[in-house]
């Protein structure tokens, strides 16, 4: 029997979307949430597994003899041992580009919030601070215009490009660290010579690259020290791209003006996570991907991925 097990479907579909198109493809066992410890029992007779954040290791694969397909319900696929899956002939797919606009919009929303603090001033007005200030205006934080400032982008894939387009529309200068040659870059985007060049010249750094052995911890204390005093750091990619304690230290020392993150090395973060109490650190709980519109696209692509696999012509294969 060609069976599908969905290990942790709740985040992508908390009940406002339908699994019926997936159920039409093959028998499905759908679990809202799961852990590594539940995989073996739940998937012992499954040919196909769909996972968002439940890791599938080599040890897990070895205990699932029927397994032939792993569908990652996200763009990043570092939760799967890709090399082992390839060795075993297990097809692994992902969902590219479904959340590009959502992630880009939240990236810029964080930047504008840092610069203009609209929620802070709404709270101040409701607390009657403006009413009783004695002036027609009320300002008690730095207000920063981004026009003319440089945005440094690490990774110029679809999300990085989308962020760059918005930044250019805001009249920012944009520089990217990318493997693309300078003549391949869209108009208005400068190519960084290297990471040090990007860090030393940018007013805002934003991370939009995958997490792998080369990028893990790439932004650390030494590299944060290269940035201009008063710079801003944004990380809406993967928490482990930045050494989080080093980022907290750079914020608390005043070297960085502010940071915004939508991800953590461990999710959810532990109560003593250094960024939870860091100065001028704005945190959203890994929600950049989760707009309704993005999740509709996600559900559509994971269904098409499974259908293509069942037809013998898999798409969006990462291994």
Catalytic positions are: 238, 267, 286
With the CA atoms of 289, 290, 295 and 301 taken in that order, what torsion angle do they form, in degrees rounded to the nearest 10?
A: 30
Q: What is the largest CA-CA distance in the chain?
A: 75
* Long-range pairs of 169-177 with CB within 8 A, sequence gap ≥ 24: 170/108, 170/146, 171/146, 171/147, 172/146, 172/147, 172/148, 172/204, 173/148, 173/149, 174/150, 175/150, 175/151, 175/201, 175/202, 176/152, 177/152, 177/153
Instruction: List 233's β-bridge partners, or say none.
Output: 205, 259
Any bridge partners for residue 71, and if so which?
A: 50, 93
Of 119, 144, 110, the C-alpha closest to 263 is 110
CB proximity list for 76: less than 8 A, separation 6 or greater = 94, 210, 211, 238
- Neighbouring-strand partners of residue 4: 28, 48
Distance CA 236, CA 42 (A): 32
């Amino acid at each position: 029997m060609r069976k599908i097990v969905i290990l942790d479907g709740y985040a992508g579909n908390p009940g406002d979307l339908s699994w019926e198109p997936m159920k039409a493809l093959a028998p499905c066992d759908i679990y809202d949430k799961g852990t590594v410890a539940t995989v073996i029992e739940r998937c012992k007779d499954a040919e196909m597994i769909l996972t968002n954040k439940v890791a599938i290791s080599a040890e897990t694969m070895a205990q699932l003899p029927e397994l032939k397909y792993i569908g990652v319900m996200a763009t990043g696929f570092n939760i799967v041992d890709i090399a082992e899956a390839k060795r075993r002939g297990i097809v692994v797919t992902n969902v590219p580009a479904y959340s590009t606009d959502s992630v880009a919009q939240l990236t810029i929303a964080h930047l504008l919030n840092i610069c203009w603090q609209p929620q802070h001033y709404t709270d101040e007005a409701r607390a009657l601070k403006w009413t009783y200030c004695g002036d027609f205006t009320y300002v008690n934080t730095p207000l920063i215009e981004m026009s003319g400032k440089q945005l440094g982008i690490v990774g110029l894939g679809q999300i990085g490009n989308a962020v760059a387009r918005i930044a250019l529309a805001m009249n920012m200068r944009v520089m990217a660290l990318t493997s693309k040659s300078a003549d391949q870059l869209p108009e208005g985007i400068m190519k960084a010579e290297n990471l040090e060049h990007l860090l030393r010249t940018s007013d805002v750094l934003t991370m939009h690259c995958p997490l792998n052995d080369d990028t893990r911890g790439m932004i650390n204390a030494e590299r944060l020290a290269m940035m201009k005093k008063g710079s801003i750091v944004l990380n809406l990619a993967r928490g482990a791209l930045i050494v989080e304690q080093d980022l907290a230290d750079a914020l608390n020392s005043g070297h960085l003006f502010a940071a915004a993150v939508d991800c953590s090395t461990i999710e959810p973060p532990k109560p003593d996570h250094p960024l939870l109490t860091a100065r001028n650190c704005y945190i959203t709980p890994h929600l950049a991907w989760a707009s309704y519109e993005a999740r509709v696209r996600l559900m559509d692509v994971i269904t098409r991925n499974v259908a293509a696999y069942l037809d013998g012509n898999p798409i969006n294969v990462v291994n």
